[in-house]
A = this chain, B = another copy of it.
Amino acid sequence: MVKIIDQRHLPFDFVIEELSTVKGIVSAIKDMHLRGAPLIGVAAAYGVYFAALDTPDDVRFDSHVYDAGELLKTARPTAVNLSWAVDIQLENLTKGKSKSDKIEILLDQAHKLAAEDIERCRNIGKSGLPLIENIAQGKNGEPVNILTHCNAGWLACVDYGTATSPIYMAHDQGIHVHVWVDETRPRNQGARLTAWELQEHGVPHTVITDNTGGHLMQNNKVDLVFVGTDRTARNGDVANKIGTYLKALAAFDNNIPFYVAAPSSSIDWDCHDGLNCIEIEKRDADEVKYVEGSINNRISRVLIAPIESDAINYAFDVTPSRLVTGLITERGICQAIEKSMLNLFPEFR
Protein backbone atom coordinates (compact mmCIF):
# COMPACT_ATOMS: atom_id res chain seq x y z
CA MET A 1 0.00 0.00 0.00
CA VAL A 2 1.18 3.54 -0.77
CA LYS A 3 -0.17 6.73 0.70
CA ILE A 4 -0.58 9.72 -1.58
CA ILE A 5 -1.84 13.24 -1.06
CA ASP A 6 -5.04 13.46 -3.07
CA GLN A 7 -4.13 16.79 -4.65
CA ARG A 8 -7.64 17.42 -5.93
CA HIS A 9 -8.54 18.73 -2.49
CA LEU A 10 -5.68 21.20 -2.08
CA PRO A 11 -5.33 23.90 -0.89
CA PHE A 12 -8.67 23.63 0.85
CA ASP A 13 -8.30 20.24 2.45
CA PHE A 14 -5.41 17.84 3.08
CA VAL A 15 -6.59 14.35 2.16
CA ILE A 16 -4.43 11.22 2.25
CA GLU A 17 -5.48 8.40 -0.05
CA GLU A 18 -4.30 4.82 0.25
CA LEU A 19 -3.65 2.92 -2.97
CA SER A 20 -2.89 -0.77 -3.24
CA THR A 21 -3.92 -1.84 -6.74
CA VAL A 22 -2.70 -1.05 -10.23
CA LYS A 23 -6.23 0.03 -11.10
CA GLY A 24 -6.18 2.51 -8.24
CA ILE A 25 -2.85 3.92 -9.43
CA VAL A 26 -4.13 4.22 -13.02
CA SER A 27 -7.18 6.21 -11.99
CA ALA A 28 -5.20 8.30 -9.54
CA ILE A 29 -2.92 9.32 -12.45
CA LYS A 30 -5.71 9.73 -15.00
CA ASP A 31 -8.01 11.73 -12.74
CA MET A 32 -5.10 13.65 -11.28
CA HIS A 33 -5.31 12.69 -7.62
CA LEU A 34 -1.60 12.89 -8.17
CA ARG A 35 0.19 14.68 -11.00
CA GLY A 36 3.58 16.04 -11.92
CA ALA A 37 5.89 14.14 -14.23
CA PRO A 38 8.33 12.80 -11.61
CA LEU A 39 5.58 11.74 -9.21
CA ILE A 40 3.64 10.01 -11.96
CA GLY A 41 6.74 7.98 -12.73
CA VAL A 42 7.27 6.86 -9.14
CA ALA A 43 3.57 6.09 -8.68
CA ALA A 44 3.56 3.99 -11.83
CA ALA A 45 6.55 2.01 -10.54
CA TYR A 46 4.50 1.08 -7.49
CA GLY A 47 1.60 0.33 -9.82
CA VAL A 48 3.68 -2.33 -11.59
CA TYR A 49 4.54 -3.82 -8.21
CA PHE A 50 0.85 -3.91 -7.19
CA ALA A 51 -0.01 -5.63 -10.46
CA ALA A 52 2.64 -8.28 -9.76
CA LEU A 53 1.36 -8.77 -6.24
CA ASP A 54 -2.20 -9.21 -7.48
CA THR A 55 -1.49 -11.66 -10.29
CA PRO A 56 -4.20 -14.31 -10.17
CA ASP A 57 -2.90 -17.86 -9.87
CA ASP A 58 -4.34 -18.98 -13.19
CA VAL A 59 -2.63 -16.21 -15.19
CA ARG A 60 0.92 -16.08 -16.57
CA PHE A 61 2.79 -13.81 -14.20
CA ASP A 62 5.08 -11.98 -16.63
CA SER A 63 2.43 -11.22 -19.22
CA HIS A 64 0.03 -10.06 -16.55
CA VAL A 65 2.62 -7.58 -15.28
CA TYR A 66 3.52 -6.49 -18.82
CA ASP A 67 -0.14 -5.79 -19.55
CA ALA A 68 -0.43 -3.77 -16.37
CA GLY A 69 2.64 -1.79 -17.40
CA GLU A 70 1.13 -1.01 -20.79
CA LEU A 71 -2.10 0.06 -19.09
CA LEU A 72 -0.18 2.38 -16.78
CA LYS A 73 1.60 3.94 -19.74
CA THR A 74 -1.72 4.91 -21.33
CA ALA A 75 -2.94 6.75 -18.22
CA ARG A 76 -1.46 10.03 -19.47
CA PRO A 77 0.50 10.47 -22.68
CA THR A 78 2.78 13.49 -22.34
CA ALA A 79 5.06 13.01 -19.33
CA VAL A 80 7.84 10.64 -20.34
CA ASN A 81 8.62 9.73 -16.73
CA LEU A 82 5.61 7.45 -16.81
CA SER A 83 6.83 5.11 -19.54
CA TRP A 84 10.41 5.54 -18.36
CA ALA A 85 9.60 4.21 -14.89
CA VAL A 86 7.33 1.45 -16.19
CA ASP A 87 10.02 0.28 -18.61
CA ILE A 88 12.61 0.14 -15.83
CA GLN A 89 10.19 -2.00 -13.86
CA LEU A 90 9.33 -4.30 -16.75
CA GLU A 91 13.02 -4.96 -17.39
CA ASN A 92 13.16 -6.30 -13.86
CA LEU A 93 10.96 -9.20 -14.87
CA THR A 94 13.97 -10.77 -16.60
CA LYS A 95 16.02 -10.55 -13.42
CA GLY A 96 14.15 -12.50 -10.76
CA LYS A 97 13.70 -16.25 -11.08
CA SER A 98 10.62 -17.05 -9.03
CA LYS A 99 7.46 -15.02 -8.81
CA SER A 100 8.28 -13.99 -5.26
CA ASP A 101 11.82 -12.99 -6.30
CA LYS A 102 10.39 -10.75 -8.99
CA ILE A 103 7.87 -9.18 -6.65
CA GLU A 104 10.63 -8.34 -4.22
CA ILE A 105 12.77 -6.84 -6.99
CA LEU A 106 9.83 -4.73 -8.21
CA LEU A 107 9.20 -3.35 -4.73
CA ASP A 108 12.88 -2.59 -4.18
CA GLN A 109 13.02 -0.87 -7.54
CA ALA A 110 9.96 1.27 -6.75
CA HIS A 111 11.54 2.32 -3.45
CA LYS A 112 14.78 3.02 -5.29
CA LEU A 113 13.04 5.16 -7.92
CA ALA A 114 11.36 7.16 -5.17
CA ALA A 115 14.67 7.68 -3.36
CA GLU A 116 16.47 8.58 -6.57
CA ASP A 117 13.78 11.10 -7.42
CA ILE A 118 14.35 12.86 -4.10
CA GLU A 119 18.08 12.86 -4.78
CA ARG A 120 17.65 14.22 -8.31
CA CYS A 121 15.42 17.04 -7.05
CA ARG A 122 17.87 17.89 -4.27
CA ASN A 123 20.68 18.06 -6.80
CA ILE A 124 18.59 20.22 -9.14
CA GLY A 125 18.32 22.59 -6.20
CA LYS A 126 22.09 22.63 -5.85
CA SER A 127 22.54 23.13 -9.60
CA GLY A 128 20.07 26.00 -9.77
CA LEU A 129 20.92 27.78 -6.53
CA PRO A 130 23.88 29.77 -7.98
CA LEU A 131 21.53 31.31 -10.55
CA ILE A 132 19.54 32.87 -7.72
CA GLU A 133 22.61 33.71 -5.65
CA ASN A 134 24.18 35.59 -8.56
CA ILE A 135 21.12 37.75 -9.06
CA ALA A 136 20.69 38.31 -5.33
CA GLN A 137 24.18 39.83 -5.21
CA GLY A 138 23.11 42.68 -7.46
CA LYS A 139 19.85 43.31 -5.67
CA ASN A 140 20.93 44.94 -2.40
CA GLY A 141 18.47 42.92 -0.36
CA GLU A 142 15.58 43.52 -2.76
CA PRO A 143 13.87 40.22 -3.52
CA VAL A 144 14.90 38.05 -6.44
CA ASN A 145 11.66 37.74 -8.40
CA ILE A 146 11.12 34.32 -9.93
CA LEU A 147 8.14 33.50 -12.13
CA THR A 148 6.89 29.93 -12.32
CA HIS A 149 4.09 28.22 -14.20
CA CYS A 150 1.97 25.29 -13.02
CA ASN A 151 3.34 23.21 -10.15
CA ALA A 152 6.84 21.83 -10.38
CA GLY A 153 7.13 21.66 -6.62
CA TRP A 154 7.45 18.81 -4.18
CA LEU A 155 3.83 17.93 -4.78
CA ALA A 156 4.83 17.08 -8.35
CA CYS A 157 7.73 14.93 -7.20
CA VAL A 158 8.52 13.02 -4.04
CA ASP A 159 10.30 15.89 -2.30
CA TYR A 160 11.85 19.34 -3.00
CA GLY A 161 10.31 19.66 -6.47
CA THR A 162 12.18 20.52 -9.63
CA ALA A 163 11.63 24.21 -10.43
CA THR A 164 11.00 24.97 -6.75
CA SER A 165 14.06 23.13 -5.43
CA PRO A 166 16.55 25.99 -6.00
CA ILE A 167 13.92 28.41 -4.68
CA TYR A 168 13.47 26.53 -1.40
CA MET A 169 17.22 26.19 -1.07
CA ALA A 170 17.77 29.92 -1.62
CA HIS A 171 14.99 30.83 0.81
CA ASP A 172 16.37 28.47 3.44
CA GLN A 173 19.77 30.15 3.10
CA GLY A 174 18.22 33.52 3.86
CA ILE A 175 18.18 34.86 0.31
CA HIS A 176 15.18 37.12 -0.22
CA VAL A 177 13.14 35.43 -2.96
CA HIS A 178 9.65 36.24 -4.16
CA VAL A 179 7.72 33.99 -6.53
CA TRP A 180 5.18 35.06 -9.14
CA VAL A 181 2.78 32.13 -9.29
CA ASP A 182 0.88 31.71 -12.59
CA GLU A 183 -2.54 30.38 -11.67
CA THR A 184 -2.26 27.92 -14.60
CA ARG A 185 -5.69 27.42 -16.04
CA PRO A 186 -7.56 25.23 -16.56
CA ARG A 187 -6.78 23.27 -13.40
CA ASN A 188 -5.02 26.07 -11.53
CA GLN A 189 -2.14 23.97 -10.25
CA GLY A 190 -0.22 27.20 -9.72
CA ALA A 191 -2.86 28.96 -7.61
CA ARG A 192 -3.89 25.79 -5.81
CA LEU A 193 -0.71 23.79 -5.39
CA THR A 194 2.36 25.99 -5.88
CA ALA A 195 0.88 28.82 -3.81
CA TRP A 196 -0.01 26.33 -1.08
CA GLU A 197 3.48 24.81 -1.07
CA LEU A 198 5.14 28.21 -0.91
CA GLN A 199 2.72 29.39 1.77
CA GLU A 200 3.47 26.30 3.89
CA HIS A 201 7.20 26.88 3.47
CA GLY A 202 6.94 30.61 4.21
CA VAL A 203 8.21 31.72 0.79
CA PRO A 204 6.81 35.14 -0.24
CA HIS A 205 4.72 34.79 -3.37
CA THR A 206 1.96 36.44 -5.37
CA VAL A 207 -0.67 34.66 -7.42
CA ILE A 208 -1.24 36.12 -10.89
CA THR A 209 -3.39 35.20 -13.84
CA ASP A 210 -1.66 33.45 -16.72
CA ASN A 211 -2.08 36.67 -18.71
CA THR A 212 0.08 38.74 -16.39
CA GLY A 213 3.65 37.45 -16.75
CA GLY A 214 4.42 39.39 -19.94
CA HIS A 215 3.47 42.70 -18.38
CA LEU A 216 5.58 41.96 -15.29
CA MET A 217 8.56 41.06 -17.46
CA GLN A 218 8.21 44.24 -19.51
CA ASN A 219 8.33 46.21 -16.29
CA ASN A 220 11.46 44.62 -14.77
CA LYS A 221 9.51 42.73 -12.18
CA VAL A 222 10.83 39.28 -13.10
CA ASP A 223 14.50 38.28 -12.70
CA LEU A 224 14.24 34.62 -13.62
CA VAL A 225 11.72 32.12 -14.94
CA PHE A 226 11.87 28.56 -13.58
CA VAL A 227 9.51 25.90 -14.92
CA GLY A 228 9.35 22.13 -14.91
CA THR A 229 9.06 19.75 -17.84
CA ASP A 230 6.95 16.76 -18.71
CA ARG A 231 9.18 15.66 -21.56
CA THR A 232 12.42 17.17 -22.79
CA ALA A 233 13.44 16.14 -26.29
CA ARG A 234 16.99 15.31 -27.30
CA ASN A 235 17.08 18.60 -29.23
CA GLY A 236 16.22 20.59 -26.11
CA ASP A 237 12.55 21.26 -26.93
CA VAL A 238 10.49 21.15 -23.75
CA ALA A 239 6.92 19.94 -23.32
CA ASN A 240 5.41 21.45 -20.20
CA LYS A 241 2.03 22.67 -18.98
CA ILE A 242 0.05 24.60 -21.58
CA GLY A 243 1.07 28.25 -21.56
CA THR A 244 4.75 27.66 -20.82
CA TYR A 245 5.62 28.58 -24.41
CA LEU A 246 3.98 32.01 -24.00
CA LYS A 247 6.10 32.74 -20.93
CA ALA A 248 9.22 31.59 -22.73
CA LEU A 249 8.45 34.02 -25.56
CA ALA A 250 7.96 36.87 -23.11
CA ALA A 251 11.16 36.03 -21.24
CA PHE A 252 13.09 35.93 -24.53
CA ASP A 253 11.58 39.25 -25.62
CA ASN A 254 12.68 40.87 -22.37
CA ASN A 255 16.09 39.22 -22.00
CA ILE A 256 15.06 37.36 -18.88
CA PRO A 257 16.70 33.98 -18.24
CA PHE A 258 14.24 31.14 -18.79
CA TYR A 259 15.36 27.90 -17.13
CA VAL A 260 13.74 24.50 -17.25
CA ALA A 261 14.34 22.25 -14.24
CA ALA A 262 14.78 18.95 -16.02
CA PRO A 263 15.61 15.81 -14.10
CA SER A 264 17.15 13.23 -16.43
CA SER A 265 14.05 11.09 -15.90
CA SER A 266 12.12 13.63 -17.96
CA ILE A 267 14.50 13.58 -20.93
CA ASP A 268 13.27 11.49 -23.83
CA TRP A 269 16.50 10.63 -25.62
CA ASP A 270 14.54 8.91 -28.38
CA CYS A 271 12.67 12.08 -29.29
CA HIS A 272 14.84 14.14 -31.63
CA ASP A 273 12.35 16.91 -32.34
CA GLY A 274 10.05 17.89 -29.51
CA LEU A 275 7.76 20.06 -31.58
CA ASN A 276 6.95 17.11 -33.81
CA CYS A 277 7.26 13.98 -31.71
CA ILE A 278 5.62 14.76 -28.39
CA GLU A 279 1.99 13.78 -27.99
CA ILE A 280 -0.01 16.57 -26.40
CA GLU A 281 -2.74 15.32 -24.10
CA LYS A 282 -6.24 16.59 -24.79
CA ARG A 283 -8.41 16.56 -21.69
CA ASP A 284 -12.11 17.05 -21.00
CA ALA A 285 -13.43 20.40 -22.29
CA ASP A 286 -15.38 20.79 -19.05
CA GLU A 287 -12.10 21.59 -17.29
CA VAL A 288 -12.14 24.78 -19.39
CA LYS A 289 -15.85 25.59 -19.19
CA TYR A 290 -15.96 25.13 -15.43
CA VAL A 291 -13.59 26.40 -12.78
CA GLU A 292 -13.19 24.48 -9.58
CA GLY A 293 -12.60 26.17 -6.27
CA SER A 294 -13.96 26.45 -2.80
CA ILE A 295 -17.12 27.99 -1.43
CA ASN A 296 -17.15 27.98 2.36
CA ASN A 297 -14.52 25.22 2.38
CA ARG A 298 -16.55 22.99 0.09
CA ILE A 299 -15.12 22.27 -3.35
CA SER A 300 -17.54 23.46 -6.01
CA ARG A 301 -17.33 24.34 -9.66
CA VAL A 302 -18.76 27.29 -11.52
CA LEU A 303 -19.66 27.45 -15.20
CA ILE A 304 -17.80 30.33 -16.84
CA ALA A 305 -19.08 30.22 -20.45
CA PRO A 306 -22.34 29.71 -22.28
CA ILE A 307 -23.34 26.10 -21.78
CA GLU A 308 -23.78 25.77 -25.57
CA SER A 309 -20.28 26.99 -26.44
CA ASP A 310 -17.58 24.54 -27.49
CA ALA A 311 -14.33 24.44 -25.58
CA ILE A 312 -11.07 22.58 -26.09
CA ASN A 313 -8.47 21.57 -23.54
CA TYR A 314 -4.87 20.94 -24.56
CA ALA A 315 -2.91 20.17 -21.42
CA PHE A 316 0.62 20.91 -22.63
CA ASP A 317 2.59 22.85 -25.17
CA VAL A 318 6.12 22.62 -26.49
CA THR A 319 8.65 25.37 -25.94
CA PRO A 320 11.28 25.35 -28.70
CA SER A 321 14.82 24.97 -27.41
CA ARG A 322 15.83 28.35 -28.89
CA LEU A 323 13.79 30.03 -26.13
CA VAL A 324 15.31 28.01 -23.28
CA THR A 325 18.31 29.62 -21.56
CA GLY A 326 19.31 26.36 -19.95
CA LEU A 327 18.25 23.05 -18.45
CA ILE A 328 18.86 22.63 -14.72
CA THR A 329 19.60 18.94 -14.25
CA GLU A 330 20.74 16.87 -11.30
CA ARG A 331 24.23 16.91 -12.82
CA GLY A 332 24.42 20.66 -13.42
CA ILE A 333 23.18 23.19 -15.92
CA CYS A 334 23.46 22.67 -19.65
CA GLN A 335 22.23 24.41 -22.75
CA ALA A 336 19.03 23.06 -24.28
CA ILE A 337 20.92 21.50 -27.19
CA GLU A 338 21.88 17.90 -27.75
CA LYS A 339 25.63 18.41 -27.56
CA SER A 340 25.49 20.22 -24.23
CA MET A 341 22.96 17.75 -22.79
CA LEU A 342 25.20 14.85 -23.81
CA ASN A 343 28.16 16.44 -22.08
CA LEU A 344 26.28 15.94 -18.81
CA PHE A 345 24.78 12.60 -19.81
CA PRO A 346 27.43 10.92 -21.96
CA GLU A 347 25.80 7.52 -21.46
CA PHE A 348 23.16 8.54 -24.02
CA ARG A 349 25.63 9.38 -26.77
Contact = CB atoms under 8 A, between A and B. Distances in A.
Given A214-B245, A243-B214, A295 B291 contact: no
Interface residues of A, number: 64
Contacts of A55: none
A211 B305 CA distance: 17
Contact of A295 (B183, B185, B300, B311): B300
Interface string A190-227: 01100110110000111111111111101000000000
Q: How many copies of this kind of chain does the complex include?
A: 2
Interface stretch (A81-89, A134-142, A246-254, A334-342): A246-254
A186 B183 CA distance: 10
A143 interface: no
B209 A185 contact: yes
A15 interface: no
Contacts of A301: 293, 295, 302
B293 A304 contact: yes
A312 B211 contact: no
Contact of A305 (B183, B210, B306): B183
Interface in A239-287: 241-243, 245-247, 249-250, 253, 275, 280
Taking chain A's interface residues, is the majority helix, strand, or loop, or is none over half, making it mixed? mixed
A305 B246 contact: no
Given A185-B183, A195-B309, A209 B242 contact: yes
Contacts of A196: 306, 309
B210 A211 contact: yes
Contact of A275 (B188, B218, B293): B218
A317 interface: yes
Nearest to A204: B310
Q: Which of A245, A304, A314 has the most CB of B within 10 A?
A: A304
B304 A192 contact: yes
28 contacts: A184-B211, A185-B211, A188-B304, A191-B304, A199-B306, A205-B309, A206-B312, A207-B289, A207-B310, A209-B210, A209-B242, A211-B241, A211-B242, A212-B314, A212-B317, A214-B243, A214-B246, A214-B249, A215-B242, A215-B280, A218-B245, A246-B249, A249-B253, A291-B291, A291-B304, A294-B303, A300-B300, A302-B302
